[in-house]
Amino acid sequence: MGSLLQQAQQMQQQMEEAQRALSEQKVSGAAGGGLVTATVTGLGELVDLKISPEAADPQDTETLADLVIAAVHAANEEAERLQKEKLGPLGALGSGGLGGLGGGLPGF
C-alpha cells in the first residue's frame, strides 16, 4: 500500500512539473492568412492577440470577430498538441489530465 501511495505522489509531482513547464511555454495560431494571431500558454491561457490594421474594417466587425475566434481556436489546438507531447500518458489521468483541466481548457 505504501508503494502505491509513493507512486501516486511521484505521478502528482510529475504532473505539477509538467503543468509548470506548460504554463511557461507559448504557442500561436493565426487566421485570415495572418491578419489575426493569438498566442496562448501551453495550458491554453490567452496571453497575446495581434490584429493587423487590414483586418479592422469598421463596416465588417463580424469578420474580425470570426478571425479572432479562429486564431484563438488554432492557438488552443497547438496548446493541446503541446500538452499531449509533454504529458504523454500523464495526460490521460483524472478527467483528462491537468488536474481536471485537460479537455476543458479555456477556449475548448
pLDDT confidence of residue 10 = 87
Cβ–Cβ under 8 Å, residues 43 and 102: no
pLDDT confidence of residue 6 = 87
Predicted confidence (pLDDT) per residue in 14-53, tens digit: 888 888 889 999 999 999 999 999 999 998 999 999 999 9
| Torsion angles phi and psi, residue 17, rounded to 5 | -65, -40
- 11 within domain boundaries: yes
- 73 within domain boundaries: yes
Which CATH number belongs to the domain containing residue 82 in this structure?
3.30.1310.10
Residue 2 banded pLDDT, cuts 50, 70, 90:
confident
- 108 within domain boundaries: no
- 35 within domain boundaries: yes
Q: For the chain, what percent of residues have pLDDT higher than 70?
A: 81
- 106 within domain boundaries: no
CA triplet 103, 105, 106: central angle to 5 degrees?
145
Cβ–Cβ under 8 Å, residues 41 and 47: yes
The parent domain of residue 25 ranges over 2-100
Q: Is the pLDDT score of 95 beyond 90? A: no
pLDDT confidence of residue 35 = 96
- 72 within domain boundaries: yes
- 107 within domain boundaries: no
Number of domain units in the chain: 1
